[in-house]
Structure 1
Amino acid sequence: MSQTSDWPLPQGSLRYIIPQRLIKLLEKHPLTRELYPISFGHYQRAKGHSMNRSQHKDELLIYCTEGEAEVVTGQQALKVVAGDLLYLPAGEAHRYTTLDNNPWTIHWVHYSGPLASYFRQYLGFSGLNRRINLGRQPRLLVDFNGLLSVQDSGFQEQPLIHASNRLRQLLTALPLSHKRPQVKQQTDLNLPLLQEQMRDHLNTRLDLDSLAATAGLSRYHFIARYKQITGETPIQHYLQMKIERACYLLDTGESSIGSIAEQLGYEDSYYFSRLFKKVMGVSPGNYRRVNRY
């Protein structure tokens, strides 16, 4: 376990450190052994807060919502400001100091487990990247505060198992928080507008040229940029939206498969069924039979 700051807490702050005996339990429990918190907290206007770790044994995420701090990690010197998410990986010495004239307010969590290295890539901290600007994300604060709900539980097993799974929720939600800022920075695509156009045309057949025209790009550049952002081509994403809607119609109504195909702009129900099976792995009829409760 890495050293946690013993810096005195200012008013409105909280630091929660899980006892070693319970960390050992979380390391072995089947519901938590893949990923578990070690300590977490919230520091409000943390004047005088500093840390210097020559040995760092776990992962540390710090989300700054106010103020600023100077950070040195590995070979990098960083300035962390409000809206930044800072990642300090296990095994990398680091030090940080907030500024007396503008102390930071932060939410933070130390965590470990076999999934931690996978989450590093999932969160977008590839290579030497240690900082991502998220801006103000109220939903993210809800997730961080969800960890703190374990306080006053008396170090009981079940609340800590719950906190471990709240940590997983927090980490899986983070890329959703910084997806839009990255899109704005890397491309000129208005992704929300394009996807709204797709949703508005789920009952018809929207062609690639119309989407490319909305984006103001050639077909080639539009496909390349869209896939760079989402990992899928625009038509693949549009098809998956249609199949998602088809699942909803199959789950909530009694319409025939042919009628659902027509509602989604497909005159040929057999063609629609092939597309459905390609995405879902089963035919629409089998999907309806298996998922009826």
Structure 2
Amino acid sequence: MELVGEGFPGQRMLVLPRPQVELALQRPVTRNLIVTDCGYFPHAEHHGWIRTRPIRQLVVILCLRGQGWCETSAGRFPVRAGQALLLPPGLPHAYGADADDPWTVWWVHVDGASVEDFLRVTGATIDSVVREIPDIYGSAALMEEIVRWMERDTTEASLVGASGTAWHLLTSLAFSRAPSAGNAQDMVERAADYLRSHINRRVNVSDLADMAGMSASHFAAMFKKYTGVPAMTYQTQLRMASARELLDTTQQSVEEVANAVGYDDSFYFSRQFKKLHGMSPTAYRRHDAN
């Protein structure tokens, strides 16, 4: 199988220049933990790395959808949606997407004096590299926040922000308890939180179900049972609430509001808005001003 490290439609990837890494490792806060690389690879067909020459960073890969695999000196391990890889630094390893059902992943590399302490606390070793994620939606949100900090710029403030979020991510992986088996209500609440924090992202039922480790039909039934509405109706309600706030409090155009709440097509947004409110966004803004 040919493995590729990057180049996927919709990907996000940040690499901190190595001279800046070395400087950060001499500063307060970031000397303990620094994000050196991070990104998001959707439907990453043929993705993978074979590292026969070890790197000094801890590699964390969060599988949202699809499947993948990992190989260490301890053997080969499958990775599925809702699991994470924690690959300790300084040891050879390989990983990649499943050929038939390629994974979608958030990933981060971290360095610093506290990495070894974290590994000791979690018990992460080369023999135990695959972990169940206690809160897949929360972990995905933290991964995205890390990427946003790194996309912002490479100032000390942004690097500290990314480091703080990485601490949150790593400690949540170390100490949070997974929801008890069959506790669908907890999972639905986490999915609802994820939708609330990703108003402008395209998220469908299959995405949410994969992250929860459920079939789409079972997830849809559970979501409606515990919230009273289908997941996509819930998402639309959230988007429209955010749109109302923007129409009330800003001078943004209807197209700008539509984009801000996750609609690429402002005409479709206007139709959805009118369906829910009985008037167009423009009429709503005029009516609210009177």
TM-score tier, shorter chain, comes to 0.5 to 0.7
Please state if 1:85 is matched with 2:84.
Answer: yes
Matches within 5 A, 1:129-140: 129-134=128-133, 137-140=136-139
Contact 2:88 2:124 survives alignment (8 Å):
no
Distance 1:146 1:153 in 2: 11
TM-score (norm 1): 0.56
1:267-292 Cα offsets, whole Å, 9 max, x none, are xxxxxxxxxxxxxxxxxxxxxxxxxx
Q: 2:15 aligns with which of 14, 17, 42?
A: 17
Give the CA deviation at 1:11.
Answer: 2.1
Assess, with a 3 A threshold, how the Cα gap between structure 1 residues 151 and 113 changes in structure 2: closer, same or farther.
closer
Aligned partner letter, 2:154: F
CA RMSD, 1 decimal: 2.4
Using the alignment, how far apart are the partners of 1:170 and 1:134 within structure 2? Answer: 11
Alignment counterpart, residue 49 of structure 1, candidates 47, 50, 66: 47
Q: Does 1:115 align with 2:111?
A: no
Given that 1:123 and 1:171 are in contact with CA atoms closer than 8 Å, whether structure 2 keeps it comes out as no
In the alignment, the residues of structure 1 paired with residue 112 and residue 153 of structure 2 have an alpha-carbon distance, to the nearest angstrom, of 23
Question: What is the identity, as a one-letter code, of the residue corresponding to 1:35?
Answer: L
Match of 1:37 among 18, 24, 35: 35
Partner of 2:234: none
- The 8 Å contact of residues 68 and 82 in structure 1, kept in 2 or not, is answered as yes
2:60 counterpart SS class: strand
For 1:21 and 1:130, how far apart are their aligned partners in 2? 29
The CA distance in 1 between the partners of 2:152 and 2:89, in whole Å, is 28
Give 1:106 deviation, angstroms: 0.8
State the identity as a percent. Answer: 24
- For 1:152 and 1:85, the matched residues in 2 are separated by 23
TM-score by length of 2: 0.57
Q: Please list every run of 5 or more consecutive structure 2 residues that lacks an aligned counterpart in the other structure.
A: 187-290
CA distance in 2, matches of 1:180, 1:153: 32
5+ residue gaps, structure 1, are 186-191, 193-293
What's the CA shift for 1:124?
A: 4.1
* 8 Å Cα contact 1:84/1:135 also seen in 2: no
Task: Give the greater-gyration-radius structure (CA).
Answer: 1
Which residue of the partner structure matches residue 104 of structure 2?
Answer: 105
Partner of 2:200: none
Structure 1 residue 167, shift from structure 2 partner: 1.0
What one-letter code is carried by the residue in structure 2 that aligns with 1:118? D
Structure 2 counterpart of 1:25, one-letter code = L
